């Protein structure tokens, strides 16, 4: 027999969803059978799979011990514990992801990922103790490409995660991007429209100026911050959020990002020392239009990354001769 006492991070979810995470080796069929036959109880009473758990609930599982083997493997310990902190409080962590680092494990089972670094960082601080968590682990709320840098939001508890997921879904967070492109833009400010089709096999997208089967509309807003030589520094606002949208859209109008191996001038960019695309998710604003519960104090606040490698190149004149 095994028991779980529901804490704040476990509360607010369905019983079956909690058990699927807390007892990973328990087959779903046996989970529902255990509930039906009263081998799984909540507060010593019959329960239902969709019962919403509250703090203090006691879940008793009268099941074979084989399903309760302790997982002592902590894969995040194999990753670095260093993260570049943009902002941190008891609920969230904003980190500046470097270029070249994946956010989650990929097909190559990379262990040095952003989420593992974050978990290692919080583990060393004593803020994440896996042995005390039945179903929750610190989680990333947004993701950016391996070769893009910038702000990634981390929820440090379940309450913050629920709020952030909702606010992201309803676009109550505003993200701005900084990028460095080839050429001088025709306008100081423009809202671009095109149509995008994703090729999952090639991990690439195609753009069209007119709608066609399989294409989805994209809208990209840019503002020129500075022009210098044959390059432009842009702030970009995504009015739609599609795969590779900034990179593909700017390349489509003849202004590819420096260092973009998929959509750019790869050979010339490498001569400049650019092996990563010059793209950074550099500004995040919390602009809640509805109640944000435990994160209400963040409403109206903006956070930025100031030290951006390609902007430094641009401003110090390293590209002037090219």
Asked if residue 321 belongs to a domain, the reply is: no
CATH number at residue 62: 3.10.290.10
Asked if residue 322 belongs to a domain, the reply is: no
Residue count of the chain: 322
Give me the mean pLDDT over the 11-31 stretch: 91
DSSP-derived secondary structure letter, 257: B
What total number of domains does the chain contain? 3
Q: What is the per-residue pLDDT across 35-70, written as a single tens digit (0 to 9) for each?
A: 999 999 999 999 999 999 999 999 999 998 888 766
User: Residue 107: its pLDDT value, please?
Assistant: 66
DSSP-derived secondary structure letter, 137: -
* Residue matched to tokens 């022009």: 227
* Residue matched to tokens 């994440």: 128
The last residue of a domain, from among 68, 98, 123: 68
Q: Which one, of 117, 308, 130, 120, lies nearest residue 225 by Cα?
A: 308
Q: What is the per-residue pLDDT across 173-200, written as a single tens digit (0 to 9) for each?
A: 999 999 999 999 989 999 999 999 999 8
Q: Which of 16-25, 103-112, 165-174, 280-289 has the lowest mean pLDDT?
A: 103-112
Q: Which one, of 279, 254, 86, lies nearest residue 178 by Cα?
A: 279
Q: Does residue 292 have a pLDDT over 90?
A: yes
Q: Which residues of 143-153 are buried (b: 16+ CB within 10 A; e: fewer)?
A: ebbbbbbbbbb
Range of the domain at 28: 2-68
The answer to whether 283 touches 200, Cβ cutoff 8 Å, is no
Asked if residue 220 belongs to a domain, the reply is: yes
User: Residue 321: its pLDDT value, please?
Assistant: 59
Query: Are 18 and 35 in the same domain?
Result: yes
CATH number at residue 202: 3.30.2350.10
- Between β-strands 149-155 and 40-42, what pairing exists: parallel, antiparallel or unpaired? unpaired
The last residue of a domain, from among 21, 37, 68: 68
């Amino acid at each position: 027999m095994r028991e779980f006492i529901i804490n704040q991070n476990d509360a607010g979810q369905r019983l079956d969803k909690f058990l699927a995470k807390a007892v990973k080796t328990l087959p779903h069929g046996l989970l529902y059978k255990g509930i039906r036959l009263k081998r799984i109880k909540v507060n010593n009473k019959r329960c239902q799979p969709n019962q919403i758990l509250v703090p203090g609930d006691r879940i008793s599982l009268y099941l074979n011990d084989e399903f309760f083997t302790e997982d002592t493997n902590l894969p995040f310990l194999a990753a670095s514990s260093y993260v570049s902190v943009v902002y941190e409080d008891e609920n969230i962590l904003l980190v500046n992801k470097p270029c070249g680092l994946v956010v989650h494990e990929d097909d190559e089972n990379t262990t040095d990922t952003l989420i593992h670094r974050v978990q290692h960082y919080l583990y060393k601080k004593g803020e994440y103790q896996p042995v005390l968590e039945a179903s929750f682990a610190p989680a990333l709320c947004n993701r950016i490409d391996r070769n893009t840098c910038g702000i990634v939001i981390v929820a440090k508890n379940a309450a913050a995660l629920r709020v952030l997921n909702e606010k992201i879904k309803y676009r109550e967070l505003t993200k701005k991007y900084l990028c460095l492109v080839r050429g001088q833009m025709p306008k100081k400010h423009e809202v671009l429209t095109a149509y995008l089709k994703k090729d999952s096999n090639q991990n690439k997208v195609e753009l069209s100026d007119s709608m066609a089967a399989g294409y989805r509309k994209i809208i990209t807003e840019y503002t020129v911050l500075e022009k210098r030589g044959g390059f432009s520094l842009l702030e970009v606002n995504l009015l739609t959020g599609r795969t590779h949208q900034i990179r593909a859209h700017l390349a489509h109008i003849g202004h590819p990002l420096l260092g973009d191996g998929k959509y750019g001038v790869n050979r010339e960019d490498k001569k400049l020392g650019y092996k990563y695309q010059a793209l950074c998710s550099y500004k995040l604003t919390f602009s809640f239009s509805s109640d944000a519960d435990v994160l209400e104090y963040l409403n109206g606040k903006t956070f930025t990354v100031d030290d951006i490698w390609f902007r430094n190149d641009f401003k110090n004149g390293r590209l002037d001769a090219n």
